[in-house]
Amino acid sequence: MIVKKLNDVSGGGFPGARYNEKKIADGVASLMAMENVSEALRHNVETLHRFGLDASAEVERYLKESSKTYGNTKTTRFQFHVSASVKGRAMSPEELTDFARELMVGMGYARQPYFVYAHHDTGNNHVHILSTRIKPNGYAISDHQDRRRLNECANRILSPDIKKDIDRILSYDYETEGQFANIVKTHGYKIEKSLDGYRLFKCGGDAGNIAIGDILNRITKNSPKRKDRATQLRAIIRKYKGEIAEGKCQNVDNVKVSKGKKRKPVKAKLNTDIRKILDNHGKPLSEENCQRIQTLIDVLKTKFGIDISFQKDKDGRVRGYSIIDHAEKIAFDGSKVMKLSELIDFAIKPQRKPSPLDVYRDLFTVEVGKDSRGNYMLINVKDGSMYRKPISPRQYAWYNGVKDDEREDVGLTIAATMFSEEILTEYLIRYPIHNHQERIKGMAVVKHRNGNYCLRAALTDGYMPLIELTSEEEAKFRSLHADEQARQDFLMSIAMLHLTRRDAEAVKDRIKQNTQSKAGVRILPSRPQDYSPEISQVFTFNLANALSSLNVSSGSSAYKREYEVGNRSRYDDIDNRQSGTSLSI
């Protein structure tokens, strides 16, 4: 375990917010916990994250607002920023998050607002903890000998506990004694069969005995999550086999830091069992193929916490292999995921490259026309909804001026800029990220000063939006006077749609900011009709990325997103940087 306090920052700022949120926007981090923060902030941050956007401004603003000193301290070092890292996948992001909570209690930050981010940009699982030193009364939490106290606190939390290791091992999903033994070995223990079970050894010492009854009683057959995870693993392995065969994925090297702080790669040794594998013709594998298999093993281990080990027959030849998936705690017979013959075959198989515009093709079709009112674009959503808006002469000319095989792509690009809010709303209805119904605690129809009727919704966070009813909505509300429950259901649908549109508008505004930055323009035109083709393409690409993030997101760690074969992975830009000083346990 490595625990490190990052350098203190003067000036009352929280640069850690920008650092961690950029990692989320880059797809190599996830927000694991937000403690002691308002529901409004939680809602806004979760909404932006579901679209793959950073919430650094929101997080930093909240921490600053929570750091008022009232003249009770002179310090301007408000930020408390700590990282905690383990070797490889020794602890999952969830376990590291639990450790972070205990660390904050031990350091006196239990009641402070703080954020825990899990990073996936190195071969080692690690989290960053961001908080403020300023308490609600304006006094600062002492930072005297913080680094020593951090080490002492971590030592108390992570004191050696063999029973905890055994409990963790027994929590895995396995089908045979052999798979159980493989799980034990991947946790750094040696194992020997004893009269009444298995005896464990670690660091040369006896680590206890696990009774055979405890092992057999926990064997699972046909686990419901096993089949789905096997499908995901198969896709992960095929994806990286293809990248390795094409030379896109290089060896995963260890990193050695010299005294001058220079990083030097140290090439991992080839697993000797790989040379004992025979190809489909019964011949030893080529040196190039051996190196490719080793690279695949290293990638799966460092990026996903997946261990692969080979089984040999009495003649020393490899006849099979096993997979230990530490992310989902499942042990597999390798042949149930992928035959050994396919695992070692790195022949390049052509695949169609997906387009970012595919996300729009799955949602709607586009029509462009001209009538007495001028040029227009119409999109037909596949659930039956239809939207129409006028487009500019430049957009109309762009659409009709390209080749026939490019016209659909141009139409989708223009539609994404013109109907971005409608598209986001449709997606949020399809893939809801908030239960708005739980946020609404009361509703009432009131008459506005302009004479129109409005719906007033009271939310749990204190916000009370006033939603003006259309004439059709007002007429339907009146028609339901005999059925109070139907009235309430109707009003609930209006309120939920309003909140969904608010979320869509917030995401659209952030995408516009990203577009302005990436397009290199000082200011975006106020109307999407005035976007140039170049700006439209940047906006469309940013929106497609956000929609794809929402489409495949499950609210859990990013490991599960890798099986979306053909899409860009969260781990494409991964590096193997490590920092901090080792913590002695």
What is the per-residue DSSP string for 346-399? ------PPP-TTHHHHTTEEEEEEEETTEEEEEEEETTS-EEEEE--HHHHHHH
Q: How many Å apart are CA 82 and CA 3, to the nearest integer?
A: 7
- pLDDT grade, residue 336 (50/70/90)? confident
Residue 447 lies in a domain: no
Q: What is the tens place of the pLDDT at every residue in 180-217?
A: 999 988 887 788 888 888 888 754 446 678 888 888 88
Judgement on whether residues 98 and 76 belong to the same structural domain of the protein: yes
Q: What is the tens place of the pLDDT at every residue in 42-56?
A: 999 999 998 889 899
Question: What's the angle, vertex CA 548, arms to CA 545 and CA 553, rounded to 5?
Answer: 125
331 CA to centre of own chain: 24
Judgement on whether residues 290 and 322 belong to the same structural domain of the protein: yes
Judgement on whether residues 139 and 171 belong to the same structural domain of the protein: no
**Computed from CA positions of residues 95, 96, 100, 102, in that sequence, does the dihedral angle turn out positive or negative?**
positive
Judgement on whether residues 210 and 240 belong to the same structural domain of the protein: no
Judgement on whether residues 265 and 142 belong to the same structural domain of the protein: no
Q: How many Å apart are CA 29 and CA 129, to the nearest integer?
A: 13
- pLDDT grade, residue 380 (50/70/90)? confident
Residue 275 lies in a domain: yes
Judgement on whether residues 396 and 501 belong to the same structural domain of the protein: yes
The predicted pLDDT at position 576 comes to: 38
Judgement on whether residues 384 and 428 belong to the same structural domain of the protein: yes
The predicted pLDDT at position 258 comes to: 40
The predicted pLDDT at position 385 comes to: 81
Q: Which residue has the higher pLDDT, 320 or 251?
A: 320
The predicted pLDDT at position 554 comes to: 37
Judgement on whether residues 241 and 390 belong to the same structural domain of the protein: no
Range of the domain at 486: 360-439+469-568
The predicted pLDDT at position 203 comes to: 40
The predicted pLDDT at position 582 comes to: 34
Q: Which residue has the higher pLDDT, 510 or 363?
A: 510
Q: What is the tens place of the pLDDT at every residue in 85-101?
A: 887 777 889 999 999 99
Q: How many Å apart are CA 264 and CA 136, to the nearest integer?
A: 46
- pLDDT grade, residue 574 (50/70/90)? very low
Question: Mean of the pLDDT values across residues 138-152?
Answer: 88
Question: Mean of the pLDDT values across residues 239-251?
Answer: 82
- pLDDT grade, residue 68 (50/70/90)? very high
Question: Mean of the pLDDT values across residues 430-436?
Answer: 86
Residue 95, Cβ neighbours under 10 Å: how many? 14
- pLDDT grade, residue 41 (50/70/90)? very high
Q: What is the tens place of the pLDDT at every residue in 260-293?
A: 444 444 455 788 889 899 887 788 889 989 999 9
Phi and psi at 445, nearest 5°, equal -95, 125
Residue 459 lies in a domain: no
Assigned token pair, 141: 């939490």
pTM of the model: 0.56
The predicted pLDDT at position 91 comes to: 82
Let me know how long the chain is.
585
Q: Which residue has the higher pLDDT, 552 or 488?
A: 488
Judgement on whether residues 379 and 512 belong to the same structural domain of the protein: yes
Q: Residue 38: is its pLDDT beyond 80?
A: yes
Q: Residue 556: is its pLDDT beyond 90?
A: no
Q: How many Å apart are CA 116 and CA 331, to the nearest integer?
A: 29
Judgement on whether residues 167 and 152 belong to the same structural domain of the protein: no
* Portion of the chain with pLDDT greater than 70, in percent: 87
Residue 126 lies in a domain: yes
Residue 463 lies in a domain: no
Judgement on whether residues 422 and 347 belong to the same structural domain of the protein: no
Q: Please give the mean pLDDT across all residues of the chain.
A: 84
Question: Mean of the pLDDT values across residues 148-165?
Answer: 72
Residue 444 lies in a domain: no
Domain edge (last residue) among 320, 351, 382 = 351
The predicted pLDDT at position 165 comes to: 78
Q: What is the tens place of the pLDDT at every residue in 286-306?
A: 998 999 999 999 999 888 889
The predicted pLDDT at position 347 comes to: 76
Domain edge (last residue) among 292, 325, 351 = 351
Domain edge (last residue) among 324, 351, 378 = 351
Instruction: Report which of 181, 190, 164, 162 is spatially closest to residue 219, judged by C-alpha positions.
Output: 181
CATH number at residue 112: 3.30.930
Judgement on whether residues 369 and 340 belong to the same structural domain of the protein: no
Residue 206 lies in a domain: yes
The predicted pLDDT at position 539 comes to: 95
Residue 448 lies in a domain: no
Q: Residue 20: is its pLDDT beyond 80?
A: yes
Q: Count structural domains, the chain.
A: 4
